[in-house]
Each structure stands twice: as C-alpha cells, then as structure tokens.
Amino acid sequence: MSVSLDQLKAPELLYKSLAAKLVLGMPFKDLATVDSIILRELPPVDDADARLALKRLIDISMGVITPLSEQLTKPLPNAMALVNLKELSTGAYKLLPEGTRLVVSVRGDEAYEELEILKDIDATMLLHNIPFDEENIGRVHAARRLFEYLSENSLDFPVIHHIQFPNGTHRDDLVINAGTNAGALLVDGLGDGILLEAPDQDFDFLRNTSFNLLQGCRMRNTKTEYVSCPSCGRTLFDLQEISAQIREKTSHLPGVSIAIMGCIVNGPGEMADADFGYVGGAPGKIDLYVGKTVVKRGIAMEHATDALIQLIKDHGRWVDPPAEE
C-alpha cells in the first residue's frame, strides 16, 4: 500500500487501515495485514512521532519502502530503498548504509543489456511498473518478457505488480484494470503481490481490492471464500438474500470455503472444492454438505444458517469474529 505523510499523523488509524490488529495501541500483524508500504517522502529526522510510527511497523516485519534519495537524505533504519535501473547503473545506491535492502523498479520493456545489472545485486523484490501514459507496450506483455528474462537467468526475485492509476480513474475501471493486468499474470503464477497506487481513492477500497485480487488468484486467503451458483428456474430459495445472510455471519473465516447452491440437481456437483455446502434440497428445506458428502438433510430454512455455523464449529473451522478494541 502507498502511505502518505499525513497518514503518519494518526498512527493508530493508519495501523487499522493496514489491517494490523491493535493491542493497547500497538500494531500486530496477521494474515490480513498489508505486507509492505511505500512512502514517497520520509518524515523529517526530527519528527519523532512519525518516525516512531514507522519503526513500529518495521518492528512487526512490515516492509517500509522509500525512494533512494529519501533514504540517503533522511535515513530511516531498516527501511528499503527504491531504486530504478539507472540509479543502479550509476552506483548511487552504494552510498546507502551497508545492508540496506533494495527494491528495484523495472518496466520489463528495457533492453536486455540494461537488465543485466540485476545479476550483480541482491534485490529484496522487484516492482514491475509501466506508467499509464507510456504504455507503448502492453503491461502484460512487458511483464511476461521480464519473467522470461528472470527465468532464463535463474534470477528468482519476488516480483510485485505495481500499477499507478491517474487521478479521476473510476473505481470500476481500476478494478478491471488491476484484474486484467496483474490478475492475468498472478493466475499464471507470475508474480508475488500487488501494489495499487491511486492518490484520489479511498485507502480501504485499495486495500480490499488488492486482497480480493490476491484471493481471486488463489494466492492469499484473507477472508471466507464463497462459491455459489448463478441461480435458475430450479433455485429453491432467494439466493442473493440467503448469500448475504450467510456472508454476514461467516465472512471472517480465512481459509474456509462455503458453497451456496440453489438446488440438489446440479448444486453438489458444481460446488468445486468447497469445504461446506448449503444446498436447496426441497422447497423451504436445506441440505448441508461437508465437502461432497451430505451430512444433514431437510433442515428448515429458518434454522439452516445456524446449522451451517454449527457444522463449521463441529469441524473445528470456526473462530469468533474479532472484537473491536
């Protein structure tokens, strides 16, 4: 996630936005916490509060990435320096304190000779990024070319898909663009993460979009996975209403997948590999499944959601929703 200096003025809000759990105001990381942040500008060296907020993030192993010039002028201990290939070729990064980790921004459409320098450095990760207004070559093609180069040269740096959206980008366009560019590569196993920057977009929206994309690409489950049928003339209940009810009560179970299917004719066969199934068995009646095995039949509709929750509990997959501090 991209973080601004303003957000550091309210550290607890920032920690919450990053989905770090708070214990007595201190952040703790879990599965749904952002891994790294990028700060285009570091707080001044004498801004003790802002720098302490960053230190606390680094202490929980969150990566803090900042441009090389910032890390050279206002060094933040254990922050990572963001460099491009030109800064690598000039050797400017060698002025950094020894042991500073490097994050290298790469376009993917550079001449192979320019990429050669990657063989001589120990980068922590690469950010693949082509500015929107310079997309002479498709982002996906450039990325594939980069992955090919890395593979041919046995360079196994983690690669993060970094997309910077211009102000005014519609939310739907942002989601579709991220999905068709980064998502198309991630489902092919090309890439390790995503960094969406859009200064005029809500922070939570960007974080949720990023995690949704990772979950959709089967890379990181931060919430319950749902499978449901599209519904048809055979559907035995209001699929949207029941799905919303089930989601409301079970959306905090990362790693659990629940199928909600309208009928038993095709439902059980189309539940993919869901852990639990909620399937219309007869009008007003629900059958519950564990995997592909039916375990409860003919439950009255009004009790079926609670029965599903009990089933999840019986199989040791339930945790209580996190309490607000």
Of 146 and 236, nearer to ligand SF4 (C-beta) is: 236
292 binds ligand SF4 (CB under 6 A): no
Q: Which residue is nearest to ligand SF4 (CB)?
A: 262
Of 193 and 277, nearer to ligand SF4 (C-beta) is: 277
What residues between 11 and 30 interact with ligand SF4 by CB under 6 A?
none
294 binds ligand SF4 (CB under 6 A): no
What residues between 140 and 159 interact with ligand SF4 by CB under 6 A?
none
| DSSP β-ladder status, 159-164 and 123-128 | parallel
Q: How far is the CB of 231 from ligand SF4 (least distance, A)?
A: 5
Q: How far is the CB of 286 from ligand SF4 (least distance, A)?
A: 13
Of 137 and 301, nearer to ligand SF4 (C-beta) is: 301
| Spatial CA neighbour of 50 closest among 22, 76, 17, 73 | 76
Q: How far is the CB of 25 from ligand SF4 (least distance, A)?
A: 48
| Spatial CA neighbour of 294 closest among 317, 312, 276, 314 | 276
| CA 70/CA 83 separation, integer angstroms | 11
| Spatial CA neighbour of 124 closest among 144, 149, 105 | 105
The answer to whether the beta carbons of residues 108 and 145 sit under 8 Å apart is: yes
| CA 307/CA 313 separation, integer angstroms | 10
What residues between 208 and 267 interact with ligand SF4 by CB under 6 A?
229-232, 234-235, 261-263, 265-267
The answer to whether the beta carbons of residues 128 and 146 sit under 8 Å apart is: yes
Q: How far is the CB of 247 from ligand SF4 (least distance, A)?
A: 17
Of 108 and 277, nearer to ligand SF4 (C-beta) is: 277
CA atoms within 13 A on the CB side of 232: 8
Q: How far is the CB of 282 from ligand SF4 (least distance, A)?
A: 13
Angle at 193 (CA atoms; ends 243, 93), nearest 5 degrees: 155
Applying CB under 6 A, which residues contact ligand SF4?
229-232, 234-235, 261-263, 265-267, 270
